[in-house]
A and B are shown apart, each in its own frame.
Chain A
């Protein structure tokens, strides 16, 4: 709803529109999936920050990553990979979910393999006086690492599915 008569309310309305939230709400109210082309990138950056934070403050990093996982879950529920209860997925939607999760799993595999190799190499390099990389030791470290990989998988999946979805929203008729 926009205000046209009152200049003050009109300015407030324009300011609110600048935040993007009203447009987001209008799109969310429609029965169409929302593409998220940039939000997952922010979540991924925050997840990396959360893991770095975990290395310094073992009580803070994992809780930040857990909160990010909850945020990521909302992207899965409203994004292009969402599943409507009772609605059967057609071949295009199945292909989109498959492609998205394939991208997410490839990202997790690269991180896990790269991380293991880097950790092993850094331990070996301690023989030459090089400082070792951070390794998970506390239970919260493992929780942080596990949820970090979950956040990476889901966000990369949403990102891939969003970029594979057409930019112009379709209407049912026309």
Chain B
């Protein structure tokens, strides 16, 4: 059984101000595939995963993980509670 891979594509895409279509064109897939990736309905190939990470300028492990990513509100709250560590 394949392990579920979680991703933060939607978060990074929104932050970059990109539409699904624009991101799809940048990484060479159809816009629907970006939607399926964001919903976790499709696991990308290593090449596509690396293309996405390169497009957002982040290491691949920031974009994909075997463990689910905590909600952004929790991350911000934690950062606010521990300002020294967050910096």
Contacts and interface: CB of A to CB of B under 8 A. Distances in A.
Determine chain A's interface SS by DSSP, over half rule.
Answer: loop
A170 B42 CA distance: 13
Interface string A55-93: 000000000000000000000000000000001001111
B68 to A, nearest CB: 19
A87 B32 CA distance: 13
A168 B47 CA distance: 26
Interface in A85-138: 87, 90-93
A91 B36 contact: no
B48 A91 contact: yes
Interface residues of B, number: 18
Contacts of A87: 30
Contacts of B42: 92
Interface in A133-174: 166, 168, 170-174
A124 to B, nearest CB: 43
Nearest to A84: B30
Contacts of A166: 36, 39, 41
B19 interface: yes
Instruction: State the 7 A-B residue pairs at the shortest beta-carbon distance, nearest first.
Output: A170-B35, A90-B29, A166-B41, A92-B33, A172-B31, A90-B30, A170-B32
Given A32-B32, A172-B20, 10 more contacts: A90-B29, A92-B29, A166-B36, A166-B41, A168-B39, A170-B39, A172-B31, A172-B35, A173-B20, A174-B35
